[in-house]
Amino acid sequence: QAAKLSEGLSALGAEPVEVPVLEIQPPENLAPLDEALQRLHSFDWLILTSGNTVKVLAGRLAALGLNPSELSKIKVAAVGESTAAAARKNGFPVTFVPVSYLAESLVHGLVGGMSGLKVLIARAAIARDLIPDALRKSGAEVEVVDAYRNVLPAAAPELLRDALKQKLDAATFTSSSSVTHLAQAAAAARLAFPFVDVPAASIGPITSQTLHEHGWEPAIEANPSDIPGLIAAVVELFAV
């Protein structure tokens, strides 16, 4: 999934050094997800939080003999245009996409008139509770199910050691999870974190907050909070 970022930076003459720190795996128990999908028609809204969520849901629906395009009676919200594009490609009838690539923007666009509505949120395990908490406060009945887990790849510590043997001019972060998992990889490799004299480029305010919590103040933050925005931020970081 780093391909778009790496390709965009390479096209500008940069040399991407990839250290995968997120590996997508199924949840420990698929039963809650499958059970929720089998009664998907009973919800008023389905909220898709990432392209990974879309991929997993499409696969599970197919395994259950269900078709996303048959869910025309419910509304589907997607966090960001890339998630929406993946959803439409897989047959989900997307109803709402927030103006910015942030969970907060999604909540702001949905909270009006949500009282009494049933909402299903499929997402990564151990994700932030901003969306479900805000919707519950607006009166919605919210159910959250794990669609997948982000785990640290076994090779990450060794790849990180090799990467830091080079002179890195910046580190890019596309999510809060990429920050926390890189910190885990550094700990496993017995490396100091944050990395000395390596500026951090963040995709958005939530990722920046996670960097701050780990003692790494971002040198620059993307706006808009998407991959093209992050590439532009890196260019700005080194503009002379």
Element (H or E) spanning 59, and its range? helix 51-63
For residue 162, what are the contacts with CB-CB under 8 A and spacing of at least 6? none
C-alpha count within 13 angstroms, C-beta hemisphere, residue 103: 20
Q: pLDDT digit string (tens) for 175-216?
A: 888 999 999 999 999 999 999 999 999 998 889 999 999 999
pLDDT of residue 83 exceeding 80, the answer is: yes
Cα 233 from Cα 201, distance rounded (Å): 7
Locus of tokens 């908490």: 133
Q: Quickly state the pLDDT bin for 240 (edges 50, 70, 90).
A: low
Q: Cis bond leading into 194, ω under 30°?
A: yes
Scored b (16 or more CB within 10 A) or e, 44-61 reads ebbbbbbbbbbbbbbebb
Q: In angstroms, rounded to a whole number, what is the distance separating the alpha carbons of residues 86 and 31?
A: 24
pLDDT at 101: 59
Q: What is the pLDDT of the chain when averaged over all its residues?
A: 91
Please report the pLDDT score of residue 124 as a whole number: 86
Residue 131: Cβ within 10 Å count: 23
Q: What percent of the chain has pLDDT over 90?
A: 68
Question: pLDDT at position 152, please?
Answer: 94
Q: How do residues 112-165 score in pLDDT, each as one tens digit? A: 778 899 999 999 887 778 889 888 988 999 999 999 998 999 999 999 999 999
Length of the chain: 240
pLDDT > 70 in the chain, percent: 97
What one-character-per-residue DSSP string does 26-41 give? Answer: --S--HHHHHHHHTGG
pTM to 2 decimals? 0.79
Q: What's the CA gap between 237 and 240, in Å, rounded?
A: 9
Q: Is the peptide bond before 32 cis (omega within 30 degrees of 0)?
A: no
The confidence score (pLDDT) of residue 58 equals: 95
97: which 2 tokens? 């996409």
Sheet of 171-173, strand order: 171-173, 200-202, 220-221
- pLDDT value of position 129: 80
* pLDDT over 70 (residue 40): yes
Q: Is 87 helix (H, G, I), strand (E, B) or coil?
A: helix
List the end-to-end C-alpha distance of the chain, in Å, as a whole number. Answer: 30
